[in-house]
Every structure is written in structure tokens, then in C-alpha cells.
Structure 1
């Protein structure tokens, strides 16, 4: 079934002022709506026939991205939310995550689940799944120093089962959790700041070549950023 972005849905009430949140459940009539109520709805960017499908999951729907392709030009698609400073955490605590399902034959050297920004310019936070083992990792890059800080999971998730992934910045640590269990950690500079004017995206950098296309199933994507002085 191809992705249809039509209609409207009743958004959930906004989250308390302690956090700035986006959440995508991919359920109601407006498939790409931000159901947190903050208005960061997604829109698709695609090339070479890249489309999305849906499958049943947990009483709702999950997205299906294009399968592996080895003969260029390959179908590509990503989802973006309009650029906003609300999704820049700066130096504040941040948590973000998603539910994913990826088979062993759907792995590549790098697949982007979600990201805001690029590692080579402008800073970044990202959740990705890399290598034949399908090991997820969380990435933060400072807006002044382009060093990549990655918390890499000790376990893979490319077993054709659903897994929940979470990235958590708290104090001096960036931690990745797989199915609610901490599986990797990186130490961060205390002044690391993520702030850029690049759109928030799911499933890849964009629709261009070498976009780190995600090739599995995706559901329940969310981001929580603490307000000044707060925790998430």
C-alpha cells in the first residue's frame, strides 16, 4: 500500500512546558502528522520512484521504506519537518527514539533512522543503524567543533523483529538504549551544543544519492528536549 498523506486528524494535547516534543505514530487519517500537537508535521521528499507503504503494528500502522537496491538509480525517500529552532536542543538534555524492524538482508554500511543536521557542518543529533550486524548508534556533533560523538550499541537489531531504540543525553553522557536496556555510552564535552537550520528528517538525509536510506519498518518516532534548566 502506497503512502497517502490526506485528511486531518485530531492532534493530542501539547506536552507540559517542561519539554518540547514531537511524536509521530503514523496512525490517524493524516499519516505524517505530529501528534504531540506542536505542529511539526512531516512531508515526503523522493526520487526515482521512492514510495512508502504501511503495515499493521500495535493496533495502528507502521511505515515501510523501500527495500534494498543494488542497481542505481535506486528509489529514495525521506520525510522532513519544516526547519524550526524548537527542535534544536543546544546544550540542554535531549531524548529521542523510535521503534524499528529490520531484517538481516536489509542492512547497509549506514541507515539513518532520524536526524537533524549534518556531521560535517552545522551540528547534529542522529539515530542510525550501521553495518551488516545492524548495530544502532546515537550521534551528537557540536555546532563549533565537527567531532562525532557516538554511543554504539553492543547488540544488533537486524533480526526481523520490532525493537525500541532510544538516545539519551544526560549530564556528560550520551547513552543508547535497545528495548529499554542501556547498550552503549559516549562521554560528551560539557559545552557541546546542537543548533542548526537544517530540517528534521526521518529515513534518510534526503532523496539524493548516498542519502543513507533506511530500508526497514519504522513506527513511534519521538523527540523530547528539556526547557532551560529542566530534565527529560
Structure 2
């Protein structure tokens, strides 16, 4: 009996380690920074820390969570306000490439406009991905070398409650999950997505509020997580 147990331990330990490694995110910004903080810490261990703009309210507590608050900015009202954003430098871990890739955010808002998170913009070389909330409906877009795919939540999420939204891109399409339930799917293959842009949370980085709107998000964010297969 002792021999059988010892063999079981040897076989199980590597499997457990491999499973733990598979669950490690590419990036995890928990947004628990104190008020006035200007560095957004990546707790994945990969060191992909971000810069918090001067107009982002950190250390905001609401309905049991601590996160970032983004004030409302009138659409297409110049000048641009880069202080509204949290940004993370370009890194390969933040590009989908051809891998399975997922973006998860926990958000709370009563507004109906803005880009929540993106890497790249509509005409960016190498493609782009983003989550946005026009009309209170969360939309997820992945644009790659082969195609652009979009999925939308069937109901508005700007009800002032916390919602966890996950958008996953695989070789067969996009899947949108809200609060643990799958709410939308779209079949297809986007192709490769890899650009040299930073990750931008709260709106666009390249905009002037005249010809290109900055699409600033208004509301709260509890965390952002990126997973790559």
C-alpha cells in the first residue's frame, strides 16, 4: 500500500503544477490601489504594471468593492483628456496573436457610452480588440488579419450594479459571458491580432475629440484580467 501511495503522489504533483500554471493570467489588474495612486499594479507576476491618469479616481469604494472611477466626459467635446485613462505599455503577452485569448472586466455604470478597454484602434496595423458599452449594451470586438467579429450583450448592463463580463476569442469564434452565463456567440476566425499599441482602459489614446472621438468610459471598474492560451 505504501508503494502505491508514493507512486500516486509522484504522478499527481506534476499534473497539479501544470494546472496551476495554465490558470495563471497574462495580466491581472485588481485596481485596489490607494487614493491618489498613479501606478496600476499587475498581480499576475509578469510585471505589466500600468500608468493611472491624473483624472482617474483610485481607491473608490462602492457596493463592497474597491476600484477605479472614471468621470463622465461629454462625447466629442474637445480637448482630449489623456488623464482619463489607465494605460499599459505594449507587450507580447497582451496581444492575442493566434492563441485563445480572453478579456474579463468587472464593471458598474449608470451611463451608456464609452470604450472600457482596448488594444489598438479601428485602423491599427495588426488588428485590435476592445470592449465598449454603447447604449448600455456591452460589445466585444476582435479584428484580425482574416476577419472582424463582434458580440453584444442582449440586455443593458448600465443598471448601477456590478457585472462581470468576459469575452473569449478562440479558433472557432467569440463568446460573451455576463455574470457567469453565456449570452452571445459568433462563429468565425479573426486571424492573427498583434499590434504595437498600449492597452488603454477608459477610452482611446489617439484621438482629438473633433475628427476622432476619445470615447471615454464613465463608471467604475473593479478589475481587468487577460488570459492567453
Query: Within 2, Cα distance between the matches of 1:44 and 1:215?
Result: 15
Corresponding residue for residue 56 of structure 1? 61
Corresponding residue for residue 41 of structure 1? 49
Alignment of 1:221-232 (within 5 A): 221-226=224-229
The alignment partner of 2:26 has SS state of strand
Query: Within 2, Cα distance between the matches of 1:74 and 1:162?
Result: 31
> Which shows bigger deviation, 18-27 or 147-156?
18-27
Query: Within 1, Cα distance between the matches of 2:163 and 2:101?
Result: 20
Alignment of 1:71-110 (within 5 A): 72-73=77-78, 76=81, 77-103=84-110, 106-108=111-113
- Structure 2: stretches of 5+ with no match in the other structure: 1-19
Corresponding residue for residue 203 of structure 2? 204
Corresponding residue for residue 155 of structure 1? 155
Alignment of 1:107-186 (within 5 A): 107-108=112-113, 111-122=114-125, 123-131=127-135, 134-142=136-144, 144-145=145-146, 147-186=147-186
Indicate if the aligned counterparts of 1:155 and 1:183 stay in contact, CA closer than 8 A: no
Deviation of the 1:44 alpha carbon: 3.2
Query: Within 2, Cα distance between the matches of 1:212 and 1:174?
Result: 23
45 and 51 in structure 1: CA distance in 2 versus 1, 3 angstrom threshold: closer
Query: Within 1, Cα distance between the matches of 2:76 and 2:129?
Result: 30
Corresponding residue for residue 194 of structure 2? 195
Deviation of the 1:204 alpha carbon: 0.8
The alignment partner of 2:90 has SS state of coil
- Structure 1: stretches of 5+ with no match in the other structure: 1-14, 227-232
Q: Taking structure 1 as the reference length, what is the TM-score of the superposition?
A: 0.77
38 and 195 in structure 1: CA distance in 2 versus 1, 3 angstrom threshold: same
Normalized per residue, which structure has more strand?
1
The alignment partner of 2:21 has SS state of coil
Corresponding residue for residue 214 of structure 1? 217
75 and 64 in structure 1: CA distance in 2 versus 1, 3 angstrom threshold: farther
Q: Taking structure 2 as the reference length, what is the TM-score of the superposition?
A: 0.78
Indicate if the aligned counterparts of 1:78 and 1:207 stay in contact, CA closer than 8 A: no
Please tell me whether Structure 1 or Structure 2 has the larger radius of gyration of its CA atoms: 2
Normalized per residue, which structure has more helix?
2
Query: Within 2, Cα distance between the matches of 1:83 and 1:199?
Result: 4
